[in-house]
């Protein structure tokens, strides 16, 4: 199977599992089920769950076993987008060409739909741990990896600093903090938790972590670059919004040329961390290309 087909198959597996796990039965509160589903199925690329699946398989684990955790990380990612889009935060009316959650369901329900997805992610992982008691230690460690990366020492920490930095002059250390925490932490946790769940060797975990750190940061700087030079049609969103919102970005600090060099450097380092695995690491090599050397 070529890379694009593999990617599609994995996306399909995730989408089916999300549909299976997310509540939908008729009930007094099904307003929130609808709101949660609306944003989960609003066109995400499923990068984090796909990386988790791949890391789990790489470390010898089973796809079936990792699915609740993979769906949980996608729910956490989605909740963070719903809350980020709120008027009190980024105040966005559209995401991926669709109305944002609060524009469809109102602010109150959007806040609760975010809360609901975050909490449900933990319910889902706990259910899975209780169903497989013999593997509970690895699974709990994987869950902790995800929880830590989602919280005030991870994604939420990055969102806070990002919010505090709006329309302010920030330094490049603060920019790195936002990059590493707001997006990087969950990206790295996706890969690490997949491998931990599979009971990985520490050496393998080290290599995968190094891959994740480099490609994760490369992915974000590429995002910043594409907001300047990207093609709106290929991207499916407006370019120039970072400059408009006076957001600090890597190119704004270090220039476009240096940004390209940095991305290339991160790409090479990411590959170097895993290339000695040869064919076994092919999907991660292709994924690095897909994430960093993209035009969309």
Helix (H, G, I), strand (E, B) or coil at 166: coil
With a CB cutoff of 8 Å and minimum separation 6, the contacts of 60 are 198, 199, 200
Shortest separation between residue 13's beta carbon and a copy of itself, angstroms = 24
- Based on the shown chain and the rule CB under 8 A, indicate whether residue 199 belongs to the binding site for a copy of itself: no
Choice between 36 and 292, CB closer to a copy of itself: 36
Tell me which residues in 211-250 interact with a copy of itself (CB under 8 A): none
CB of 148 to a copy of itself, least distance (A): 6
Q: Which 8-state DSSP code applies to residue 42?
A: S
Note every long-range contact of 115-118, with CB atoms under 8 Å and residues 24 or more positions apart, other chains counting.
Answer: 115/79, 116/32, 116/35, 116/36, 116/79, 117/36, 117/39, 117/40, 117/75, 117/76, 117/78, 117/79, 117/82, 118/75, 118/76, 118/79, 118/150
Q: Is 112 in the site for a copy of itself (CB under 8 A)?
A: yes
The answer to whether 75 contacts a copy of itself (rule: CB under 8 A) is: no
Q: Which is nearer to a copy of itself, 58 or 120 (CB)?
A: 120
Q: Which of 53, 56, 67, 109 binds a copy of itself (CB under 8 A)?
A: 109
120 binds a copy of itself (CB under 8 A): yes
The span from the CA of 253 to the CA of 167, in Å, is: 15
Instruction: Please state, in angstroms and as integers, the Cα–Cα distance from residue 230 to each residue in 98, 210, 236, 248, 266, following that order.
Output: 20, 28, 10, 17, 20
Give the contact letters, 8-47, x = binds to a copy of itself (CB under 8 A), - = no.
Answer: ---------------x---xxx-xxx--x-----------
The region, left, alpha or beta by phi > 0 then psi within -120 to 50, assigned to residue 246 is left
Tell which one of 43, 60, 106, 240 touches a copy of itself (CB under 8 A). Answer: 106
User: Is-contact 210 276, C-beta < 8 A?
Assistant: no
Q: Which of residues 128-187 bind a copy of itself (CB under 8 A)?
A: 129-130, 133, 136-137, 140-141, 143-144, 147-148, 150-153, 156-161, 163-164, 174, 177, 181
In order, the DSSP letters of 96-114 are TTEE-HHHHH-HHHHHHHH
Please tell me whether residue 267 binds a copy of itself under the rule CB under 8 A: no
Please name every residue paired with 99 in a beta bridge, in sequence order, or none if there are none: 94
- In the complex, what is the shortest distance from the CB of residue 104 to a copy of itself, in angstroms, rounded to a whole number? 14
Which residues form the interface with a copy of itself (CB under 8 A)? 23, 27-29, 31-33, 36, 79, 83, 86-89, 106-112, 114-116, 118-120, 122-123, 126-127, 129-130, 133, 136-137, 140-141, 143-144, 147-148, 150-153, 156-161, 163-164, 174, 177, 181
């Amino acid at each position: 199977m070529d890379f694009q087909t593999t990617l599609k198959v994995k996306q399909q597996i995730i989408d089916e599992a999300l549909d299976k796990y997310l509540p939908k039965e008729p009930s007094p509160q099904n307003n929130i089920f609808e709101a949660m589903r609306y944003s989960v199925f609003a066109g995400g690329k499923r990068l984090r769950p796909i990386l988790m699946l791949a890391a789990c398989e790489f470390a010898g684990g089973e796809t079936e076993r990792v699915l609740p955790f993979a769906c949980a990380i996608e729910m956490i990612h989605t909740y963070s987008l719903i809350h980020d889009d709120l008027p009190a935060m980024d105040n966005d009316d559209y995401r991926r060409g669709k109305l944002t959650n609060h524009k469809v369901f109102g602010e109150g329900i959007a806040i609760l739909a975010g809360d609901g997805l975050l909490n449900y992610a933990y319910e889902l992982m706990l259910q899975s741990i209780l169903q497989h008691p013999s593997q509970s230690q690895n699974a709990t460690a994987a869950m902790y990896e995800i929880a830590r990366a989602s919280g005030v020492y991870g994604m939420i920490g990055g969102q806070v600093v990002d919010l505090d930095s709006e329309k302010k002059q920030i330094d490049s250390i603060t920019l790195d903090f936002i990059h590493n925490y707001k997006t990087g932490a969950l990206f790295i946790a996706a890969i690490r938790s997949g491998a931990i769940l599979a009971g990985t060797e520490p050496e393998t975990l080290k290599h995968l972590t190094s891959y994740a750190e480099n490609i994760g940061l490369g992915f974000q700087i590429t995002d910043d670059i594409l907001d300047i030079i990207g093609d709106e049609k290929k991207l499916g969103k407006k370019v120039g919004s970072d400059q408009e919102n006076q957001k600090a970005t890597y190119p704004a600090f270090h220039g476009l040329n240096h940004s390209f060099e940095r991305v290339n450097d991160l790409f090479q380092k990411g590959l170097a961390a895993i290339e000695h695995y040869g064919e076994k690491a092919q999907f991660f090599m292709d994924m690095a290309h897909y994430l960093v050397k993209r035009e969309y």
